[in-house]
Chains A and B, each alone.
Chain A
Amino acid sequence: MPAHLNGQPLHFPPDSFVAAGGEATVYGLGDIAYKVFHQPVDGARLRALAALSVPGALLPRRLLTDDAGAVIGHTMALLPDATPLARLLSRRFCRDHGFDGAARLRIVSALADLVRRVHLAGALVVDLHEGNILLDATFHPVLVDTSSWQLPGHPATALQDAIRDRHATGFHQGTDWFAFAVTAAQLLLGVHPYRGTHPTLKGLDERMQARVSVFDPAVRLPPVCPSPRVVPEPWRGWLVSVLDGAHRGPPPATQQLPVWLPASRPVGTRMGLTRLAEAPFPVATALEHGGRTVLIGASGIWCDERRLDPARAVTVTEDGTVVAARIQADGRLALATVPEGRPLQVSLLADDVRPLGTGFVVRSGPRLVELGIRHGLVLPRLLATVLPHATQLHDGLAVQDLAGACHLLLLSPGRCDARRVPDLDGWLVQHAQAARGAVAIVARKDGCTDRFLLRTAQGRMELRRTPDVDAADVDLVPLPTHPDGVALRVGARLELFRARPGHPDLRTVEDPILARGHLVALDGALGLLVGSQLSRLRPPAAPPPTPARAGGRRDAAGRRPQSRTARRTT
């Protein structure tokens, strides 16, 4: 059926074909998509939709007509570099493209905002399922197939059975929130909330009628799905109230930290390794300064080919002296140069000690004390006063749990920045590291272990959270080649990113060797400790192709442009 725009016939060359469905074909010319229905459609509905303004929705813009002037389609924006939301229902796709739990939660939150905007515009989405949602190039959700929306005087024209509210008559904002809850649960858990098996209720319809979702403990999920407990509050409570109850209101606005949604970019799959040093015992961390390498393990310090007694912490002072800190049996701190063993004068009771810059930080009862070391002199400075039994000292930070309220004390030479982190309230911190304002924490609560990655700067803070991690197999170190960069190792994955909030770029390297060791920052490079050996990491091999980030258009149904042969198949 030839289509016309403003009375002028449109010609769609073969390579403009984008997709075809049961009711329409979509073509793309420039940055405009042309949706041509196979039959004339309700022009008044399309005009009403075209009059709406909803950022984040691909609404009809101009109408297309046939030879007789009947409305047979419309134009809309063509979304470049989009990703169908349906792809994120695959664990493999999420893992390969960096859509972790925090990223998916961010998408759910943004989608809720988008639905609110639709409602504010006086419309209902109705057919709100994963097939009608794309992610744009910045991974924000975009609603497509908007021509089926319900407007006053224009009933909705489509609804998938999988999102139909069995307890509603007609469509209203509540049915949109029910459909949203189904889609959100799918995205967060990778399964339709009324799937899985139940001992007595069979099939989607029975489960929806009975309001028995995956949050019901009697429901058994496929092994690919995480436990529904990984959904954090307040989302979990809201989803349960909608899917297992009669609540149909919007999700609560979250009081928690803004979520950092990284734009992940794989840069390679194999790191090069140059062996630097080896100790005669397993090594936990290492220092490198002025050509001297110090390997530190639980059973000793290896420096200048000499094995020395173990220490709680080791640092390199401004003048290049290596100093070890030990807590003696009487609780007093002792500092001595390495490898000479020359003691430095200090008188301080210590509960814990960690390296901090070119000195140390000591938790001494209710005080955090920084020890600067200059020309053989130890210069103490009070950094903060803390509750001694509620404070844990870690590398670069202290974590203080004040009656269930979590505070992070970010430590740097001469500074202690306290940050309240409600997302960590009630969590038991098992592992924490800070570097340049970025913080990696592994914490446990209610039988679940989650990883929290925060970035802080100038009063701003953002969070990336990964639920249900296996263990505290995490290293966070400053990136020696970038003044603002940090490197995070999680298992076999290395992530390089800026420590400050607001920078989405995230470079990743996947290499099995990384899972066997610990990451350390050396002079001008990253190092990897594997067993008793320290190696310098070299840049990875050429990056693999990244399908989700590859350029090119997608249609309103989320399909990438295809070769001619493939286009003909749709």
Chain B
Amino acid sequence: MPRFDPGTPMLSRRLAGTTYGYSGTRLDDLSCSEYTLVAVAADQSGSVGAFQTDLEACLGEIVRACQQHPRAEHVMLRLTAFDGSLHELHGFKPLPTLDAKDYAGILHTGGATALHDAALNAIGALRSYGETLADQGFAVNGLVFVLTDGDDNASAGSAREVADQVRAALGSERIEGLHTVLVGVGTQGATAKALMRFSAEAGFDDFIPIDQANAGSLQRLARFASRSIGLQSTALGAGGSASLSLTF
């Protein structure tokens, strides 16, 4: 997968049972003892082209808004884009090391929608990296956002495998809470219903349908995501194992 910043040495891992992997900041390069890991998987299939710029602005705004949070140092963000395959745009990186401006033009739309594989990788990578951190004494919780405008049509994985991955992440108790959010961007009718079904089967905590994909709704999504990230990080610092949820 391409990297956001190929010059930065990162820890790289392959996820067992899949053809994909992930990268994360090396443990020696971390500055805090507890982290909220945030995995964002963004659809870049052909149909996203209509609102690609707004979606990129949304991603940049999530980063920018989260950097204002007092606990910004305790958050690491990973971003993947998916079409018919997965692309890691950057691995798990501390928020202060990211620049919101870098998200403009980051998506390259076209192709199919490997939604299941994207969700599987996002959760699997968070679980793997989170457990690596936890084994070294870090306190970790997580938040996953999967943003898509359509149902799966290109994955090798299934919704059941996604659900298994979530259960495994929480079952080990090394990650102190994981909240998963599926966002249907510009989805209505049958697509929205299909995504709702996938959300339920895959065990997402929240499904957020946004019927119109435009600058306003995606700004609202950025606010929701950044606030959720702030609350999840606060929950980790507060010693609460339960994830906090917001109403979109």
Contacts and interface: CB of A to CB of B under 8 A. Distances in A.
A97 to B, nearest CB: 12
A76 B217 CA distance: 35
Interface residues of B, number: 38
Nearest to A190: B33
A222 B237 contact: no
Contact of A221 (B61, B137, B226, B237): B137
Interface in A335-388: none
A163 B219 CA distance: 36
A569 interface: yes
Contacts of A204: 239
A160 B226 CA distance: 22
Nearest to A559: B68
A160 B239 contact: yes
Interface residues of A, number: 40
A92 interface: yes
A299 to B, nearest CB: 38
A557 B238 contact: no
A569 B67 CA distance: 12
Given A161-B238, A569-B226, A92 B68 contact: no
B33 A221 contact: yes
A47 interface: no
B239 A89 contact: no
A86 B70 contact: yes
Nearest to A20: B227
Interface stretch (A195-203, A290-298, A390-398): A195-203
Contacts of B96: 92-93
B222 interface: yes
A162 interface: yes
Interface string A118-131: 00000000000111
Interface in A84-142: 84, 86-87, 89-93, 129-131
A276 to B, nearest CB: 36
Contacts of B61: 565-566, 569
Contact of B69 (A192, A195, A223, A559): A559
Interface stretch (B11-19, B23-31, B39-47, B77-85): B23-31
A559 B70 contact: yes
A191 interface: yes
Contacts of A129: 237-238
A161 B241 CA distance: 10
Given A190-B33, A224-B30, A225-B33, A566 B73 contact: no
Contacts of B68: 559-560, 562, 566, 570
A224 B33 contact: yes
B9 to A, nearest CB: 16
Given A91-B31, A224-B33, 8 more contacts: A89-B73, A131-B70, A222-B137, A223-B27, A223-B30, A224-B30, A225-B33, A560-B68
24 contacts: A87-B70, A90-B32, A90-B74, A91-B31, A92-B94, A93-B96, A131-B70, A131-B71, A131-B238, A190-B32, A196-B137, A222-B133, A222-B138, A224-B30, A224-B32, A224-B33, A225-B33, A558-B70, A559-B69, A562-B65, A566-B68, A568-B219, A569-B226, A570-B227
